[in-house]
Amino acid sequence: MNQPATTRYGAFGDVLAARNRVLRNTFWLLALSMLPTVLGAWIGVQMNFSFLAGSPMLGFIAFLAIAFGFFYGIEKTKNSSVGVLLLLGFTFFMGLMLSRLIGQVLSFSNGANLVMTAFGGTALVFATMASIATTSKRDFSGLGSWLFAGVIVILLAALANIFLQMPALQIVISVVAVAIFSAYILFDVQRVVNGGETNYITATLAIYLDLYNVFANLLALLGIFGGEHD
């Protein structure tokens, strides 16, 4: 007579264990993905890497093409070790893309401090949002459509600013991006916790992009407002 209840509770325990395993693997792979990102950024700074700097529009289009190529490949191989390798390759590429901003910030006399401040701020945002996502009983899934719309607006504004070159617009874009991608951390981590995302490679990619954008835009803002010249 107790068998159905026992089976039910056992199945529930299996579901929880599976979700915890996905979350644990996601965090481990996320930590690992920082290594090629740092390596890519370091190589980029040393080589003064510039991705089609002479043609920002062409560079923007090429970046999106390469990024979406990685996304496609990762999605197709997300159930194998090839997916992990593609993800790490993508994070190396993103490190290279970040190197120009880091190089600009490091040109300030307090550049190293600004980079560490941006890193610390990003870590704080992640810890806060991940804690809320894993402990809160509130469902944040409704944020998804709003956040996606916000990302589209940011992309369009960034595209427009390639031509407009308005510092004020760049500040607004960075502030909004920090807010949106901070909320995306909450959304993406809770998807794993609630079982909405069951593949740790896909989950890692989503959260990595959130962290990357928070860090890059924080660093841009710190460079604008806190950069000191000798």
DSSP-H helix ranges across the chain: 3-46, 56-76, 81-106, 111-135, 143-164, 167-193, 200-226
Domain segments of the chain: what residues?
3-226
- End-to-end Cα spacing for the chain: 79
pLDDT tens for the 230 residues of the chain, in order:
455 555 555 565 677 888 889 999 999 999 999 999 999 999 999 998 887 666 778 888 899 999 999 999 999 999 999 999 999 999 999 999 999 999 999 999 999 999 999 999 999 999 999 999 999 889 998 999 999 999 999 999 998 998 888 999 999 999 999 999 999 999 999 999 998 899 999 999 999 999 999 999 999 999 999 988 77
Which distant-in-sequence residues (6+ apart) come within 8 Å of 109 by Cβ? 228, 229, 230
Cβ atoms of residues 71 and 205 within 8 Å: yes
Tokens standing for 6?
Answer: 């026992």
